[in-house]
Amino acid sequence: MDYAVVMAGGTGKRLWPLSRKKRPKQVLKLLQGQTLLRCCFDRLLPIFDRRNIIVLTNAGYADLVRENLPEVPFDNVIAEPAVRDTTGPIGLAASVLTKYDPDATMAVVTADQLIEPAEVLQQAIKDALTFVNNNPDDMITFGIHPTFPSTQLGYINCTAAQKCPNCKNTIYSVQAFKEKPDEKTAIQYLDTGQYFWNSGMFVWKAKTILANLEKFLTEASEPLRKIQADWDSPNQQKTLQEWFVKLPKISIDYAVMEKAENVYAIKLDCRWLDMGSFAALADIITSDENNNIVVAAQSELLNCKDSIVVTEDHGHLIAAIGLRDIVVAHSPDATLVCNIDQTHRLKELLELIKQHTGEKFL
């Protein structure tokens, strides 16, 4: 059977003070009152039964996820007791699925991406499921057609395009995964036409990814076997707490995909955004006549240009005069004001806040 696995564990420090340790970016209502998590779930519903959609998130976010997605069965929201990058939750989901469905096929997506039109991804997932179900030892990733030479994204080198029976999309052979390049290298990548942005989304048999973890990351095998054996037993939570933290903290790209054979890709020609910063709002929110990005029910901007103003508080008015290239982000207990070109220093700022006030505002 086919399943969707939604990765919803990121915190989103670059969207502070809106996103917090107890309120991650995927549940912020920044998209016409909708959350990124809800948008992700709605994209999956035309393909998967809601009972076959599993959400993995940090233990502290589980209740928020269930509140945002009340249609998802309670046990389909799996709370990770520790942060273990992407390999941990993917291995956990694959182990749980294979316990009940040894032939399970899983589509792994992330909750913090904007993808438009949704139909492009939906067709690609359908084709990937078809391909993997007919070629169970193979794994599919999704590459985004690059629109500019980004130095902030990883790339996939894809060649040998081929048609797949009963698929609308072309299937490419993945030659290599490339880390974030410098600008010159990124331009070269685009010039070849053989490099796509790495989306971090995948389709594979659950048993296949587990076999590859056994081969390339042997230290993950025992924890996953222990967790699987006690899943849905009285010892489930105790075993999960004890063994999940023993999984290596590493991305699935490093752990498996860069080393594995039989890796293929489908190209997505769509609008794609990893919603990781305030600047990213400029790509999804229409600016006003002065190029300001405003996400606020009430605001008055006088002589302001090229600025970003954000609040989820419908009863709060943000008023500003003479702003240029400034971010104003309001939350009930903290407000950020900074130059747009300084937002990359948010993690540095959060360290200072932690030193002076502890965890209160994090």
Could you tell me how many helices (H) and strands (E) the chain has, helices first? 10, 19
Strands 293-295 and 77-80: unpaired
Phi, then psi, of 271 in degrees rounded to 5:
-80, 120
Question: What is the structure's pLDDT at 9?
Answer: 80
Q: Name the most confidently modeled range: 131-135, 151-155, 312-316.
A: 131-135
Higher pLDDT, 21 or 352: 352
Question: What is the structure's pLDDT at 95?
Answer: 97
**Segment 99-138, tens digit of pLDDT:** 999 999 999 999 888 888 999 999 999 999 999 999 999 9
Question: What is the structure's pLDDT at 274?
Answer: 74
Mean pLDDT of the chain: 91
Is the model's pLDDT at 283 over the cut of 80?
no
Is the model's pLDDT at 275 over the cut of 80?
no
Give the C-alpha separation, 245 to 242, whole Å. 7
Residue 235 shares a structural domain with residue 344: no
Residue 145 shares a structural domain with residue 226: yes
Give the C-alpha separation, 288 to 241, whole Å. 49
Question: Is residue 362 situated within a structural domain?
Answer: no
Residue 183 shares a structural domain with residue 91: yes
Is the model's pLDDT at 215 over the cut of 80?
yes
Question: What is the structure's pLDDT at 99?
Answer: 96
Residue 166 shares a structural domain with residue 197: yes
Closest CA to 267 of 195, 359, 341: 195
Question: What is the structure's pLDDT at 272?
Answer: 84
Residue 164 shares a structural domain with residue 182: yes
Question: What is the structure's pLDDT at 152?
Answer: 80
Question: Is residue 167 situated within a structural domain?
Answer: yes
DSSP per residue over 227-262, as a string?
HHHHTTSTTHHHHHHHHHTTS----HIIIIITT-SS
Is the model's pLDDT at 285 over the cut of 80?
no
Question: What is the structure's pLDDT at 312?
Answer: 79
Give the C-alpha separation, 212 to 313, whole Å. 46
Is the model's pLDDT at 281 over the cut of 80?
no
Written as one letter, the residue type at 158 is C
Which pTM does this prediction carry? Answer: 0.86
Higher pLDDT, 162 or 240: 240
Instruction: List the CATH number of the domain containing 238.
Output: 3.90.550.10
Residue 205 shares a structural domain with residue 283: no
Residue 179 shares a structural domain with residue 326: no
Query: b/e string for 138-154 if b means 16 or more Cβ within 10 A?
Result: bbbbbbbebeebbeebb
Omega within 30 of 0 (cis) for the link into 70: no
Beta bridge partners of 299: 318
Residue 291 shares a structural domain with residue 206: no
Residue 223 shares a structural domain with residue 339: no
Residue 347 CB-density burial (10 A; 0-12 exposed, 13-18 middle, 19+ buried): exposed
Give the C-alpha separation, 220 to 15, whole Å. 32
Give the C-alpha separation, 172 to 181, whole Å. 22
Number of domains forming the structure of the chain:
2
The band of 228, judged by pLDDT with boundaries at 50, 70 and 90, is: very high
Range of the domain at 319: 279-357
- Residue that is last in its domain, among 274, 301, 328: 274
Residue 172 shares a structural domain with residue 319: no
- Residue that is last in its domain, among 224, 252, 274: 274
Question: Is residue 158 situated within a structural domain?
Answer: yes
Is the model's pLDDT at 197 over the cut of 80?
yes
Question: Is residue 96 situated within a structural domain?
Answer: yes
Residue 234 shares a structural domain with residue 329: no
Give the C-alpha separation, 356 to 241, whole Å. 31
Question: What is the structure's pLDDT at 175?
Answer: 92
